[in-house]
């Protein structure tokens, strides 16, 4: 039998770039929201240290760091590295039990045989790392990628991209390696993998071995996947579609040939996050919509002095139907409105984003991508200036600059000069 803590998707160094108030966290070394991930990581490991008599090993199923990844090629910040190092140092001093980490799709350098995780091997003798480089070595040498202990063994499955798994030759090699080299033996078996069926990055052969516990990462929603398999989820709310998710870790008792006993340990995130929807019709004008948003802010208690510790992350989703002309005005006014709120100290909001998924009723009559569009706007500058003149533009914005900017964009779209 083995008792383990399962956590995943800590995403240290995550930086929100959309609709975030300008400014620094208390440490003056990281931005707001980014700092939330560091604090939650420390809270999680404080809880793990507190529970030290309840487990034998800690398993992290991928995405320790947030960068680099396919949408952000830049290295992770030094602050993220320091937080990870200091937290692990505290854990090993106070607990000293093995910590196993596999590599996910975040924090992965593509095209070079290097890993952000490798340096931890030299700093902490009780840390066990399985990277994409280790996986390639295991495949080439046809050997298992696992860690053996007295009473249990841990089989590692670092992240493999969908593109790789869709290559017929590589897919077959990987499949045969799983079936022949990653077979559990007589000890209690734990498998740690980073992937999902949804994006085809979790090979089905992993399930065929019926490991005594399957510790999964990549899906940020904490939930049971199979009879023996669980996603621990992310520890902090990475995206707005996670705003209702419970966050924390899993405490697992796994025993050979038996169904694991799994307990959720919820560790609440500290920053409020809200997603609110607004349904509009073609009768709504921009002012009506902004008034409705103001009422939402009042109901949520966000029309209050800014406090970086309690300020909320907010997304407004606008759906419905309107005319193309009204749509332009609504989006323009909304953009200014959000910008102004994020500059104001009268709203307790640290991040404000919006989705605008509105059917523009007359768009079909105006733009048909299958036809020649040269005739649609005879004089873009004149028509843009006329449109701008009908809007309420704050004095600090230069009308000529806006006209030039929108005109250039139209010319680019329509193939003009």
| pLDDT tens digits along 195-216 | 999 999 999 999 999 999 999 9
Mean pLDDT of 402-416: 65
How many CA atoms does the CB half-sphere of 68 hold within 13 Å?
13
Tokens of 410: 């139209």
Confidence of residue 410 (pLDDT cuts 50, 70, 90): low
Single pTM value for the model: 0.85
pLDDT score for 388:
64
| Angle in degrees, CA 27, 338, 236, rounded to 5 | 45
3 state DSSP class of 67: coil
Q: What is the residue extent of each domain of the chain?
A: 2-266, 273-414
Please write the tens of the pLDDT for every residue from 332-387.
Answer: 999 999 999 999 999 999 999 999 988 876 544 443 333 333 334 456 666 666 66
Please write the tens of the pLDDT for every residue from 143-195.
Answer: 999 999 999 999 999 999 999 999 999 999 999 999 999 999 999 999 999 99
pLDDT score for 236:
98
pLDDT score for 359:
87
Judge contact between 97 and 126, C-beta under 8 A.
yes
Taking CA atoms, 104 is separated from 74, 198, 235, 246, 408, in Å, by 16, 16, 15, 21, 42
Helix segments in 98-200, DSSP class H? 118-123, 132-141, 162-165, 168-181
Please write the tens of the pLDDT for every residue from 238-288.
Answer: 999 999 999 999 999 999 999 999 999 999 999 999 999 999 999 999 999
User: Which residues touch 247 (CB under 8 Å, ≥6 apart)?
Assistant: 40, 222, 233, 234, 235, 236, 237, 266, 267, 268, 269
- The third-level CATH classification (topology) of the domain covering 2-266 is Purple Acid Phosphatase; chain A, domain 2 (3.60.21)
Whose tokens are 């602050």? That residue is 79
What gap in Å lies between CA 108 and CA 131, rounded to an integer? Answer: 9
Judge contact between 286 and 43, C-beta under 8 A.
no
pLDDT score for 415:
52
């Amino acid at each position: 039998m083995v008792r383990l803590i399962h956590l995943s998707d800590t995403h240290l160094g995550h930086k929100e770039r959309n609709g975030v108030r300008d400014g620094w966290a208390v440490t003056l070394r990281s931005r707001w929201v980014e700092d939330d991930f560091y604090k939650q990581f420390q809270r999680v490991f404080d809880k793990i240290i507190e529970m030290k008599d309840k487990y034998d090993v800690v398993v992290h199923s991928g995405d320790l760091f947030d960068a680099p990844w396919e949408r952000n090629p830049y290295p992770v910040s030094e602050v993220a590295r320091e937080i990870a190092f200091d937290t692990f140092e505290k854990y090993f001093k106070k607990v000293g039990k093995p910590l196993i980490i596999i590599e996910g799709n975040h924090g992965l350098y593509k095209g070079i045989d290097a890993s952000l995780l490798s340096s931890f091997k030299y700093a902490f003798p009780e840390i066990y790392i399985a990277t994409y480089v280790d996986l390639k070595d295991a495949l080439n040498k046809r050997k298992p990628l696992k860690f053996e202990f007295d009473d249990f063994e841990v089989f590692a499955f670092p992240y493999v991209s969908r593109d790789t798994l869709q290559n017929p030759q590589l897919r077959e090699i990987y499949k045969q390696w799983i079936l022949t080299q990653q077979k559990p033996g007589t000890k209690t078996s734990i498998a740690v993998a980073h992937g999902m069926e949804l994006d085809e990055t979790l090979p089905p052969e992993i399930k065929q071995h019926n490991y005594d516990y399957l510790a999964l990462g990549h899906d940020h929603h904490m939930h049971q996947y199979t009879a023996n398999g669980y996603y621990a989820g992310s520890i902090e709310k990475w995206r707005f579609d996670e705003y209702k998710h419970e966050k924390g870790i899993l405490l697992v008792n796994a025993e050979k040939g038996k169904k694991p006993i799994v307990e959720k340990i919820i560790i609440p995130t500290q920053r409020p996050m809200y997603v609110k929807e607004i349904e509009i019709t073609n009768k709504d004008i921009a002012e009506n919509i902004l008034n409705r948003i103001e009422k939402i802010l009042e109901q949520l208690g966000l029309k209050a002095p800014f406090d970086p510790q309690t300020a909320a992350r907010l997304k407004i989703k606008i759906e419905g139907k309107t005319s193309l002309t009204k749509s332009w005005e609504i989006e323009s006014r909304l953009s200014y409105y959000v910008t102004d709120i994020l500059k104001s100290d009268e709203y307790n909001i640290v991040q404000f984003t919006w989705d605008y998924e509105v059917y523009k009723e007359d768009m079909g009559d105006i733009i048909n991508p299958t036809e020649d569009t040269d005739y649609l706007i005879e004089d873009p500058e004149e028509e843009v200036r006329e449109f701008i003149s009908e809007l309420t533009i704050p004095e600090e914005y230069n009308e000529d600059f806006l006209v030039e900017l929108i005109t250039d964009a139209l010319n680019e779209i329509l193939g003009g000069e």
